[in-house]
A and B are shown apart, each in its own frame.
Chain A
């Protein structure tokens, strides 16, 4: 499977999205999926969508982005982490 581009978003584009990007990139590697991780502010996702396969955000995203997206705190709180990873894997393999 070719490398997938995932856009990680949070309020500042530098804080929680970095934690999530590291956690997801690592976990997907173990599942055999290479990720090209990008980051941005949630308010700026619309201008960062070129080539993006999936958006993972810790905060609300604008509506109608036309790209699959997952909003989750699982990688910060630890709650529901496996389910979130399963969902991300399914999106990337889909």
Chain B
């Protein structure tokens, strides 16, 4: 279904079963992975967190697992890519539509965006994936990068 999504997710930046208490911890964990793999600058994590307070990225899906797609302005990004985390227990993001409304998120796609053509493809692949209940439950059950790849290939 969204096989191309794996072209954008760096296997080094997939963290499964994260046991975190806050969105900040999850974002910093994934941002560190993206930084280590050369996708983002030092300023990226702070910029994403700052943006999340005013322009949140939680997406309520009306199902068991909600999703967040944190990202920030291109000046903090070196090259486009996606980090993925599945969470053992949900952390609280705010609703993109309404910053005052909390959304309990179990699946996080941290996006490094700086290329207009790539980012539309990346976002469309993410949106196609999260619109599939099957894909989300598959990702939540994934125990390895191979499992993630298999789910996205379905």
Contacts and interface: CB of A to CB of B under 8 A. Distances in A.
A12 B120 contact: no
Interface of B: 51, 54-55, 57, 59-62, 69, 71-74, 96-99, 111, 113, 116, 119-120, 123-124, 127, 130-131
Given A73-B59, A79-B61, A15 B97 contact: no
B55 A42 contact: yes
A73 B97 contact: yes
Given A78-B131, A79-B61, A16 B97 contact: no
Interface of A: 10-12, 14-16, 18-19, 22, 42, 58-60, 71-73, 75-79
B97 A19 contact: no
Given A11-B51, A14-B74, A15-B111, A73 B96 contact: yes
Contacts, number: 65
Given A14-B113, A15-B111, A72 B71 contact: no
B71 A79 contact: no
Given A14-B119, A60-B97, A71-B97, A76 B55 contact: no
B119 to A, nearest CB: 6
Contacts of B111: 15
B123 A19 contact: yes
Given A15-B119, A77-B61, A77-B131, 12 more contacts: A11-B51, A12-B72, A15-B113, A15-B123, A16-B69, A19-B123, A22-B120, A42-B55, A71-B97, A73-B96, A76-B59, A78-B130
